[in-house]
Structure formats: C-alpha cells, structure tokens
Chain A
Amino acid sequence: MRVPDSILPLCTEGLGFSAGGVEILRDISLTMTAGAPTLLIGANGAGKSVLLRLLHGLLKPSAGRVFWSRPPEQAARRQAMVFQRPVLLRRSVLANTLYPMVLANVARGEREARAAEALALVGLADRAADPARKLSVGQQQRLALARAAALQPELLFLDEPSASLDPAATRAVEEIVLKLAARGTKIVMTTHDLGQARRLAGDIIFLHRGSVLEQAQAEAFFQQPASAIARAFLRGELVW
C-alpha cells in the first residue's frame, strides 16, 4: 500500500487542544498509516471531532504537532474532509462538485470528467443540474462525499457523516466509504455508532475524555479491548 511520495503515515506527537481554559484533548500521540479505514470512536464529548479538525488543520493545536510525510502544503492539497452537516453551495449539484477542484487547480478539461465520475459513484449523476440545497439530507451528504472524492484525496476525513441520517441513507454513505477505501483512499472517520465502526474499521482509535485509551486492529479491539473503560463502552454502558 505504500506509495513512495505518499503524505502518509500521518503522525501526531503530544497533541493537545484547549479552548476557553477547558482542556479538550491532551497528549495525543498517534500514527495513521495507509490502508483500511481508521475509525475514531468514543462517547460524545470525548474529543473526536476536535481531533479530526486538528489533523485536517482547521484548528491550531495548543500543544504538540501534526506530522505528515510530505511538506505541509502538499499534504493540505491531498486531503479532504466531509462534515457531519454538509455545507453545500447555493449552486447546482454539478457546480458544487466542480468548485473545490477549481480551488485545487485541477486542469479545466479534467474537472468535468472527475465530477461526472464522482457523481456516478454516489448515485447522483441524474441530479447534476438540480439545486444542491433542494436535495434530501441523505443526498446532500452523498454530494458532499462526491465533492471530496472528485478531489481524489489520498486521505479523507469524515466527521460523523451519517449521524443525522436514516438507516437507508446511512447504508448508502457506508457503501460509498467502502468504495473509496477500496480504491486506495485512506479513510479517517469518527462515529459514535459501534455497529458502523464494526462494519467499516480496519483499526480503531478509542478516545475517552480527550485522551487516546487504545489504538488497535478492529478485530482485536472488539474481541478483547485492553482497557476497562473500552470494555464498558462496548457493553453499551454510559461512559463519559
């Protein structure tokens, strides 16, 4: 899986984040390598979304650092993020897909082809001309995934992409995530849905109160979590 000029692995060293005097994340040291999806799990408020934003560069860490295997500018151009609530531009479905490619300086002739391919991937090819914000919530999230996929990122961050979706739309999102993973896109995704984590994860990072309690292969984690808190979390007990 290792590409010579890959931006991966992604490492963090002693990463911490505080806001308004409240420590949200502390001393996060992780390595994420190319391969199967990495799922960040943990209770609400464990710091999953904040960690994703620190990794993607949307927030500045209060402590520690994020390291990419390529210079930061290159790494920034080869990653994308899909948010829990997709923010779609007030434009057509197609224009939404093209927009980030313009910012990323994708050659004009290539944009249309990539957009068509990405929209077909998420099953929105026949909606290309429709106003994006008139799509259903599930379709909007699929469009957000298409928009990110068209950038052909090496790494895609997904922040609870199906948290506000019904089971059918969730299933559609998971299928897209698996397709992207299958074609070599590294997925780093948060979820509080353990079933989803089991379905998608190659490895698991378990966050609790702003710290990483475990990082393990998914199978090993679900069979034999090392920490008592993770065991309680997997049994469905309320941990926070």
Chain B
Amino acid sequence: MGDLSSAFKTALGLILSLDPAVLAIVTLSLRVSLSALVLAALIGLPMGALLAVARFPGRGSVISLINALMGLPPVVAGLLIYLLLSRSGPLGSFGLLFTPSAMIIAQAVLITPILAALTRQVLESMWEEYAEQLRSFGAGPWRAVPTLLWDGRFMLPTVLLAGFGRAAAEVGAVMVVGGNIEGFTRVMTTAIALETSKGDLPLALALGVVLMAIVLGVNALAQGVRGIAARWAG
C-alpha cells in the first residue's frame, strides 16, 4: 500500500510540475491520435453517410464487414500496416516504419471502420425520415450525403469522440509500427506498458492519470454535445 501511495504522490508531482518527459509523451499521443481521427473522419464519415443512403447489391455484406472490422484487434491492424510499410513491403520506400506517421496511419486504419459503422447507424434513421422530402426537392442519394452529414452535426461528434477514445487508448498498433522509441514514437499507452514492466510505477501512473483524464474529458464533451443536439435537433 505504501508503495502505491508514494508512487501516486510522485506521479502527481510529475503532472503538476509539467515534467518535460511526461509532457512530450502526452503531446505526441494527442498529436498521433488527433491526426488519425482527422484522417479516419475524412474517409469514415462520407463512407458511412453513403452506406446510409445508397442501395446496391452487396450492401448488406459491406455493412456486415464494416461492423466486424469495428472489433479489429489493434495488434492486427498494426501488423497489417507493418507489412505494408516495412522495407520489403509495397510502401517500404517511403521509410515510414517506426515514425509517428506510421502510428497515425495504423490508428486511422483501426478507427475508420468504427466511424463509418457508427455514422451509418446515426444517418440511416435520419435518411428514412428525410428521403421522400429530399426527393421531392429533387435531391437524390448523392446530394443527400452532405445534407445528412450537416444535419447530423450534433450527433456525429459523439461518433468522432468514440473513435478518438479508441485510438488514444490502444497500445498494440502503435507499439508494432511505432516501436516505442523514446522521445520519438513513445506515446502514453506504450510508455505505461514499458514503465510498468520496468517497475517505474510513478511515471506509468502519472501517464495513466493523464490518459484517464483525457478519456473522462472526452466523455464529458460527448455529453455536452448531446445536450446541444437535444436543444436543436428535437
């Protein structure tokens, strides 16, 4: 017990004194996960919206596949990107392996299906409501995609935050493609795993506290956004 409380004290000290090592790791984590979120959103949101409105043969299978990919294990996503980016891989010439860019790509691959699947769910019920009215205005499914994305603007942040939470909390993908290199590709989750196994509990705990704070903050934000949505969307 004494160990834990002294570790906790040291951890709080590290956070409150804005320890440069902790700060660098937190900053990189946020940079990687936010970049991955932007990348995934650019692909996942329109893809989800399109799946919500388009009717084509095989649509059911595509939706099932994307739903299944929501559960893609992070290490497997990491392995796939590793194979693509490794020296002998098809994208090896870019030299991205063990860089933050590789980590961004891996996390984006991990959460794009989550964003697409959740976006489809949210927008499909909206499309059922809008379809006839929009057709009356002369808007087909293609034109409906931007309309639905805009009208879902109070619900989609929750989707984005779910994706961000998943990206920020995963270890496996960034570990495999980033390599956990100190001062270069070490993020909160990989640092926590490493420091815990080394026995440096204060640093692990400090990062754990920051990670928890971020996750809680993200959830609070999601709650707030839902409140605004209730006011506007009805």
Contact = CB atoms under 8 A, between A and B. Distances in A.
Interface of A: 56, 58, 76-77, 80-81, 83, 87, 89-91, 99-100, 103-104, 131, 133-134
Nearest to A148: B136
A87 B132 contact: yes
Contacts of A83: 132-133, 136
Interface string B147-173: 100111110000000000000000000
Given A131-B234, A133-B232, A87 B129 contact: yes
B59 interface: no
B135 interface: yes
Contacts of B234: 90, 131, 133-134
Interface string B120-134: 000000000110110
Interface residues of B, number: 20
Contacts of A77: 138
B54 to A, nearest CB: 19
A76 B138 CA distance: 8
Contacts of B143: 103
B137 interface: yes
A103 B132 contact: no
A134 B139 CA distance: 25
A48 to B, nearest CB: 16
B233 interface: yes
A228 B195 CA distance: 90
A89 B132 contact: no
A80 B233 CA distance: 25
A100 B234 CA distance: 21
Contacts of B129: 87
Given A77-B138, A99-B137, A103-B139, A133 B233 contact: yes
16 contacts: A80-B136, A81-B136, A83-B132, A83-B136, A87-B130, A87-B133, A89-B147, A89-B151, A90-B154, A90-B232, A90-B233, A91-B151, A103-B143, A131-B234, A133-B234, A134-B234
The prevalent SS among residues of A at the interface is mixed
Contacts of B153: 90
Given A89-B151, A131-B233, 11 more contacts: A58-B135, A76-B138, A80-B136, A83-B136, A87-B132, A89-B130, A90-B152, A90-B232, A90-B233, A99-B137, A131-B232
Interface string B210-234: 0000000000000000000001111
Contacts, number: 46
A131 B136 CA distance: 22
B231 A131 contact: yes
B137 A100 contact: yes
Chain A CB within 10 Å, residue with most, of B130, B136, B233, B234? B136
Contacts of B151: 89-91
Contacts of B135: 58
Nearest to A135: B234
Nearest to A92: B232
A84 B90 CA distance: 57
A123 to B, nearest CB: 21
A83 B136 CA distance: 10
Nearest to A140: B234
Nearest to A157: B136
Contacts of A99: 137, 147
A54 B18 CA distance: 68
A25 B52 CA distance: 31
A89 B127 CA distance: 11
Contacts of A58: 132, 135-136
A89 to B, nearest CB: 6
Contacts of A104: 137-138
A99 B146 CA distance: 12
